Structure 1
């Protein structure tokens, strides 16, 4: 499913694990912008030489691919699980909404990076195409629920899907895992909240 080549070797160096380098890099990308963050700037943040980073990572693009893959693969898993959900089209749409909410709560930094990409490089364009595929699949779930009568047929399925995804994506701006609502609780609340506004009349 992924057309972008991702390095999976765990080249290591004492002091930082590869996962730590990626996590800190993602934080820098989100703070300063992907294009504005150089490998030299990342080395300074880590307190190591630039050459030391290459014991962990081959390029900035590799970090971008691996970090966004974590969000994308989790969302594709949600789509597959929803497809396999027994019951009605409404049940499957609710499963997508619930699952996407959980992913946003559990991987906010990765999703933030994914949402801020603009397609300025070939690697970014490939990542964005995968993101658009998820949106198209979400539209399909909405359309099926409309055919069933669970969602108002007078609404455009694409608009409904994008508005709903926009609401879920906004979680990266305010949700805190250490707050009063757990990811599990919020993932149960969100489908009910959405359907109150989309219920057929």
Structure 2
């Protein structure tokens, strides 16, 4: 925001597709994707609809770009050395920690990903990607069970969903700078793999 000669606050138009995408994500989260119109987006960005269309073909293109960013960040964790090297449980710990870091680092984008319901082609694609993510985690859980690192009665698919659910819940309450959130990736990882009760 800037001020005019009378000292009144004036919205400064968003510049570039990156800024427009960030604004759109905020509107989608606040209003809901279905309830957000291009008029809402252009108003929030302080530009005309035609200017918005210069960068994005429409609302669904904005959604796709936002979800692609979130998915790329999450799947990128699987490519890190800690996710591909070492025993399965150690890799799982790294993936859970990396998932929390990804959520914190791209909170609006990952939050939007977690709220899609499959009402559009792009949302269905995103849900498929989320299922693929859980499947990759489940495969590592299965490997850990087979190697005796986890209990034999652990269901890999259920464990993967529980781990993702634990991490994804952080999006509902985490806010940058909130007390108690320093070291959050490590704290969530400890809770997931070591529990809350003291060891005896």
Q: CA, structure 1 residues 72+82, in 2 after alignment: closer, same or farther (shift >3 Å)?
A: farther
* Cα deviation, residue 148, structure 1: 2.2
Matches of 1:15 and 1:115 in 2, distance apart?
Answer: 26
Matches of 2:85 and 2:15 in 1, distance apart?
Answer: 44
Matches of 1:155 and 1:73 in 2, distance apart?
Answer: 29
Q: CA, structure 1 residues 15+193, in 2 after alignment: closer, same or farther (shift >3 Å)?
A: closer
The runs of 5 or more residues in structure 1 that have no matched partner are 1-13
Match of 2:173 in 1: 174
Which has the larger Rg?
A: 2
Q: Deviations 1:114-159 (Å, cap 9, x if unpaired)?
A: 1111111222212221121111101111111222222222121111
Specify the SS of the correspondent of 1:55. Answer: helix
Does structure 1 residue 144 correspond to structure 2 residue 143?
Answer: yes
Match of 1:10 in 2: none
The runs of 5 or more residues in structure 2 that have no matched partner are 1-12
Match of 1:8 in 2: none
Equivalent residues of 1:75, 1:103 under 8 A apart: yes
* Cα deviation, residue 47, structure 1: 2.5
Equivalent residues of 1:145, 1:151 under 8 A apart: yes
Q: CA, structure 1 residues 111+25, in 2 after alignment: closer, same or farther (shift >3 Å)?
A: same
Pick which of 147-156 and 126-135 moved more: 147-156
Match of 2:128 in 1: 129
Equivalent residues of 1:82, 1:96 under 8 A apart: no
Matches of 1:34 and 1:195 in 2, distance apart?
Answer: 35
Q: Which structure would you say has the larger RCO, counting Cα contacts within 8 Å and 6 or more residues apart? A: 1
The aligned length equals 184
Q: CA, structure 1 residues 156+15, in 2 after alignment: closer, same or farther (shift >3 Å)?
A: closer
Matches of 2:55 and 2:94 in 1, distance apart?
Answer: 37
Aligned residues: CA RMSD:
2.0
Matches of 2:113 and 2:184 in 1, distance apart?
Answer: 21
Match of 2:10 in 1: none
Matches of 1:40 and 1:175 in 2, distance apart?
Answer: 30
